[in-house]
Structure 1
Amino acid sequence: MTDELKFEVGGVYKNMKGPFEVVSIHRDDMVIRWGNGTEITTTVNLQKRIIERMAHEKTIKQQQAEKLKKAKAPKKKKAAPAKKK
């Protein structure tokens, strides 16, 4: 990602387990809570890397889908050159 990801208390983000809310941030640690009420203490850096990796994987999948779509597209045939008399 080119933009620096900044977590904010009350902000909602998404990792591999799904959307979570940032409950608190203290130095390099933060408490996050998923919709089912589960809370954990994790590092800001770890969550940042997870989100960046997910974004990168999404980009790769989109690029692969575009390549596959182009490969499956019918090829246009070139017109035969006109015969000279």
Structure 2
Amino acid sequence: MKAKLLRRLAAVGLLIALAGCGRDEVKVDFMEGCVRGGASKSICKCIFGKIEPDLRQMHAGEQVEALGQHMVQATAMCLRD
């Protein structure tokens, strides 16, 4: 009985670990923050698509010039579409 329970717990632990591996942290974090900020999911997806390279660069710890300006421009473009 205990061995069966241990195998199940190990399987659940493995599934949880594997689920985290496929997570795109940059996109998920941006989308959560954007939607919490009051924008619709479709607008957030549009903005992310336009500034994704900058966000990934910043996430990698690299200096990103004018990210704020790029985000404002992307938002304006996405709101027009």
Query: Which TM-score bucket, shorter chain as reference?
Result: 0.3 to 0.5
Larger fraction in helix? 2
TM-score (norm 2): 0.34
- Which has a greater percent of strand? 1
> Quick check: which has more Rg, 1 or 2?
1
**Greater relative contact order (Cα 8 A, min sep 6): structure 1 or 2?**
2
